[in-house]
Amino acid sequence: MKKLFSLALVVALVIAMAITASAAVTTNGGTAQGDVNAEYVINELGDTYAVEVAFGSMEFTYTVTEAWDDVNHEVTSTAAWTYTAESNEIDVANDSNVTITATAAFAADTGYEAVEATFANNGAQFATAASGTITLTLDGELPASTDGKIGTITVTIAKYVPAEG
């Protein structure tokens, strides 16, 4: 009976030791030991835009100058569009993490459809940290006695997507 009891005690002792040895964290003289696990996670940055657009007053003057034609005996006239320095400029600076394009368009208000807009450097690409200027010049005839808004300029800022092939 005693032998049987001793055997059971030994078996219990062996099982207990096995359980202790298989634990991930052990205590040795009061110091806790264990595995340190880590996982590398990256929150990928999508397209992030930071674009500065500065624009002039977009105020233009249409001046008609009359002259006397003494050969044909009639009044002739010439017209010209003028503007002050920088007033016709749209400056674009790209601080985004993608290349962008900037494209300006002029939409004439009703009654001013004869006015034509031309943009220099229009549709230009701006890589990160690049900047540039789109300039507007007007042409065509302005109705007499006009003094005010004749249209709106829209600058479309889009991500540059290279053409395939």
Partner 1 sequence: MKSRILRSTLLVLIILALVLTSFVSCRKKKVDDTLPPDYAPPQTEGNAEDMEEGDGSKIDTPEGGGSVGLVYEDKLTIDLSDKSVSLNFGISKRSVSNVILQLIVQDTVIVQTDLITPGQRVRTAALKEGAEAKLQPGVYSSNAKFIVNCYDPETNEKSAVRQEIPVTVTVQN
* Residues 80-109: x where in contact with partner 1 by CB under 8 A, - otherwise, as a string: ------xx-xxx------------------
Asked if 132 touches partner 1 (CB under 8 A), the answer is no
Beta carbon nearer to partner 1, 20 or 152: 152
Distance of CA 110 to the CA centre of its chain: 32
Give the residue among 159, 120, 154, 156 at the shortest CA–CA distance from 138.
120
Asked if 120 touches partner 1 (CB under 8 A), the answer is no
Structure tokens at 164: 């395939």
Beta carbon nearer to partner 1, 48 or 72: 48
Distance of CA 32 to the CA centre of its chain: 52
Selected from 110, 154, 163, 165, the binder of partner 1 by CB under 8 A is 154
Q: How many residues bind partner 1 (CB under 8 A)?
A: 29
| Torsion over CA: 102, 155, 58, 82 (sign) | positive
Q: Least CB distance from residue 122 to partner 1, whole Å?
A: 14
What pairs with residue 82 in β-bridges?
A: 61
User: Max alpha carbon distance in the chain (Å)?
Assistant: 146
Selected from 9, 53, 79, 80, the binder of partner 1 by CB under 8 A is 53
Beta carbon nearer to partner 1, 11 or 107: 107
Selected from 39, 44, 47, 164, the binder of partner 1 by CB under 8 A is 47
Q: Least CB distance from residue 53 to partner 1, whole Å?
A: 6
Give the residue among 116, 119, 106, 110 at the shortest CA–CA distance from 139.
116
**DSSP label of 97:** S
**DSSP label of 61:** E
On whether the CB atoms of residues 95 and 51 are closer than 8 A, the answer is yes
Asked if 124 touches partner 1 (CB under 8 A), the answer is no
Using CB under 8 A as the criterion, which residues of the chain lie in contact with partner 1 when the complex forms? 46-59, 86-87, 89-91, 149, 151-159
